[in-house]
Structure 1
Amino acid sequence: MTSHILFDVHHLYYLPQFLPVYRVLQSRGISCEFVVYRNRELQAVLDKAVTDEDLPVHWVDSVEDARDYYQARRASWLILGNSFKYLDDLPAVTRTALINHGAGVKGAGHDASMCRVTVRFAEGPYQRRQLQKHYPQGTYVDVGFSKLDPLFSPEVLPGPNSDSKTPALNLIACGLDPAKPTLLYAPTFYPSSIECMSDRWPDEFADYNLLVKPHFFTYTKRRYKAQRRKLEIWRSANNVAIADVSDYNLLPFMAIADLLISDASTALFEFAALNKPVVWCEFLKLRWSYRGPFRYRYARRMDQDILRYADIAVHARRYKDLLAHVQSELADPGRHQPQRQSHTRELMGVTDGQVSQRIVDYLLEGKRPDTAD
């Protein structure tokens, strides 16, 4: 019998995957607790997230602290967002499940250390096949991508302290014009297009609202200070709203945006699952060791899996091409619809707002969903 479930929140950006599952567990009367790792630089952000979502929390200072707590707590399930090096030290009564924080196209998600859990929930047929191919000894259940549940099933809501019953930003509250099309720029941290974007980007895209959602590491890693300087240049424009580091969840931005601009990241595939157009930036700031005659190193480093699905978006090879691509995609948003729908089924699985229900059904009853391709 399942009596208590723990969520291991090693990083704040795991929460968007966990929260929909937690809400379903709550609705079924299951006791849950979030084990959150303290961070001196980000503690105020962590505190705010815990308060906003009204989470039952136990704080730890290290993975060793977490291990000790799990040993003492003897929970029925421990839900992870990544590998956990002390799996072998957990009590025999505690089963483990992994809900990866990124989409299945990320090569890192196929790491062997992430397959030693009791069950690995896969986001779609592609990831399940890859996992079974490389690590056949694991147990994999194809459920879909839980993070997207709130966008497909509005009753799976943000926490009780949220202001809205839909997971979308209020453009007026952001100082933006609801009459304008809204572009979401969500670049990754490396290699990123931020440094290659024009300082005058807001002026050159004056006909659009520009929502900027940088990667968490853009704010938290010292080496990306040039990216933060670019954000400060844009911040004063009246058609720009830039997410704060405390805005850890991309969903509210995705919900309100008409089009996504991003680099080679899982955000491309998450947004495409909403059947809205995407522009993929290929103008990137590379380190010296990847430039010029050494660019082949970047091509070798690039996750080749993601390139199989490159036709999900139009590609901007230079910044000066970006505006024309945005205009053409918004004029004909259905141009890449067949590719979006096909790749979404492959990478994200079933997008019906019930992914978290399927996860909970398995946790509580061992019930496997009928989602096989």
Structure 2
Amino acid sequence: VKKVLFETHHLYYWPNFVPIVEELKNRGGYTVHASMPRRSSDVQQTILSQACSELDVVFVAADSEPDRIEKIIREAYDVVMVGNVGQLKQIVLPDALAVMVYHGIGLKQSYYRDIDDRINIRAVESMERLHELKEQGHTNLVLTGFTKLDKLYTISENEPEQLKQKLNLNRNKKTILYAPSFYPTSIEKLCPQLSVLSADYNIVIKLHGFSWEQKRYRYQSGLCSELAEKHDSIQLLPNETFDILPYYKIADVLISDISSTMFEFLPLNRPIIQAECFSLRLKHRIFRRRFWRKLDVERMQNVDFAYKIVDPADVIGRVQFALEYPDEMESLRQTAHNQYLYKPDGMASARVVDAIEENLK
């Protein structure tokens, strides 16, 4: 029996790992554990440990970070799965297999920078990214697809209906899913517009975990909470709802900014609006080049499958148009799907486990 640890640096990495956990359990011959770095707040840890118990996964916790690392080393895992480099070096033994399933596929440069030679296998979500990483000299790559999306193909037919009832959505209105990033973000600029849109549409807001958990971004969940309290047709998903996938199924249109959600939504082939109206920190307003260095500008410019807005007020007309003509960008979205995501077959996690088993031989 091989021992596998899912080192979940942040709660929002877990949806990428769940399909792999399930694949390992289906195959048998694996003991699966999960852990999370010890932080001053227990909120993320409590939510993750609950999610682990639902999947019958042992959650490894300790009173301090050094104790947690010591515990992990004592367990001597055969495979350590990570979503970023994080604590990797400290927790992976020399003989263990280190596997990276990167946590996001959005528009940030960290995708290319958050990397380490100790990683034996890096799962890659698209042929295009595989070529880019190969050109940069990486040799530990396996083309798998994006594991998080596997679940899209197993969501039962009645689950979207149940979600609509649970959220008390108006059956006669179309539904907007708003899924912004935490930084740079469109939240401040778009919140007033969401108020206006709520008269004619259901709006479901799914925030990034950091908008709840990190002090400098917590004002974002505050803004959206106020909005949801004022308007019956605006539903803010709580931090405990860390998996956005089921909500893609109930959305007629997605609004985002630089988040991975724009790419994750492509399999549904429904309209996407990209808000390029960001609120920047003072240093990035002054030193704009520093800000742009954080982003994958080329990838951002290549996004041709979404309606782009720079003026927040334009979102209202864009939503109306997109919902009236949902097929207008259909072929562009299909092309983008083939470009940014490998094989829409729900088998990405199976390909990850195949690569692990190949390396464990």
| TM beyond 0.5 | yes
Q: Indicate conservation of the 8 Å contact 2:179/2:207, yes or no.
A: yes
Distance change in 2, residues 1:297/1:224 (3 Å): same
- How far did residue 76 of structure 1 move? 2.0
* Equivalent of residue 127 in structure 2, options 115, 118, 125: 125
1:276 aligns with 2:270: yes
Letter in 2 for 1:265: S
2:160 and 2:53 map into 1 onto residues whose CA distance is 17
1:55 aligns with 2:54: no
Q: Indicate conservation of the 8 Å contact 2:177/2:206, yes or no.
A: yes
- How far did residue 83 of structure 1 move? 0.5
Q: Indicate conservation of the 8 Å contact 1:279/1:314, yes or no.
A: yes
1:95 aligns with 2:97: yes
Letter in 2 for 1:263: D
Instruction: Identify the range of structure 1 (140-149 vs 92-101) with the bigger mean alpha-carbon deviation.
Output: 92-101
- How far did residue 139 of structure 1 move? 1.1
Distance change in 2, residues 1:297/1:365 (3 Å): closer
- Cα deviations across residues 244-274 of structure 1 (Å, max 9, x unaligned)? 1111111122121111001122111111232
Distance change in 2, residues 1:48/1:320 (3 Å): same
Distance change in 2, residues 1:334/1:229 (3 Å): same
Tell me what 1:210 maps to: 203
- Cα deviations across residues 86-143 of structure 1 (Å, max 9, x unaligned)? 537733331111111111754212126345311111111122122212133x310001
Distance change in 2, residues 1:219/1:84 (3 Å): closer
* Equivalent of residue 341 in structure 1, options 320, 334, 351: 334
Tell me what 1:330 maps to: 323
- How far did residue 65 of structure 1 move? 4.0
Q: Indicate conservation of the 8 Å contact 1:8/1:81, yes or no.
A: yes
- How far did residue 203 of structure 1 move? 4.0
- How far did residue 296 of structure 1 move? 5.1
2:54 and 2:158 map into 1 onto residues whose CA distance is 14
- How far did residue 210 of structure 1 move? 0.3
2:94 and 2:300 map into 1 onto residues whose CA distance is 41
Tell me what 1:171 maps to: 164
Tell me what 2:142 maps to: 141
Letter in 1 for 2:96: T
- Cα deviations across residues 127-166 of structure 1 (Å, max 9, x unaligned)? 2122212133x310001000000102448xxxxxxxx974
What is the correspondence of 1:313-324 to structure 2 with a 5 Å cutoff? 313-324=306-317
* Equivalent of residue 184 in structure 1, options 145, 152, 177: 177
Give the TM-score, by structure 1 length: 0.86
Tell me what 1:80 maps to: 82
1:225 and 1:73 map into 2 onto residues whose CA distance is 36
Instruction: Identify the range of structure 1 (185-194 vs 166-175) with the bigger mean alpha-carbon deviation.
Output: 166-175
- Cα deviations across residues 297-348 of structure 1 (Å, max 9, x unaligned)? 5344432133243212001121211111111111222222222222222222
Q: Indicate conservation of the 8 Å contact 1:260/1:268, yes or no.
A: yes
1:217 and 1:89 map into 2 onto residues whose CA distance is 24
Letter in 2 for 1:317: V
1:169 and 1:62 map into 2 onto residues whose CA distance is 40
Q: Indicate conservation of the 8 Å contact 1:104/1:347, yes or no.
A: no
Tell me what 1:249 maps to: 243
Structure 2 runs not aligned, ≥5 long = none
Distance change in 2, residues 1:330/1:23 (3 Å): same
1:18 aligns with 2:17: yes
Structure 1 runs not aligned, ≥5 long = 156-163, 368-373
* Aligned positions, number: 356
- How far did residue 288 of structure 1 move? 2.6
1:266 aligns with 2:260: yes
Over aligned residues, Cα RMSD in angstroms?
Answer: 2.6
Letter in 2 for 1:337: E
Residue 4 of structure 1 aligns to a residue whose secondary structure is strand
Distance change in 2, residues 1:190/1:67 (3 Å): same
Letter in 1 for 2:140: T
1:150 aligns with 2:144: no
1:65 and 1:109 map into 2 onto residues whose CA distance is 30
Instruction: Identify the range of structure 1 (281-290 vs 48-57) with the bigger mean alpha-carbon deviation.
Output: 48-57
What is the correspondence of 1:33-72 to structure 2 with a 5 Å cutoff? 33-39=33-39, 40-42=41-43, 43-60=45-62, 64-72=66-74
2:354 and 2:161 map into 1 onto residues whose CA distance is 28
2:123 and 2:18 map into 1 onto residues whose CA distance is 15
Q: Percent identity?
A: 29
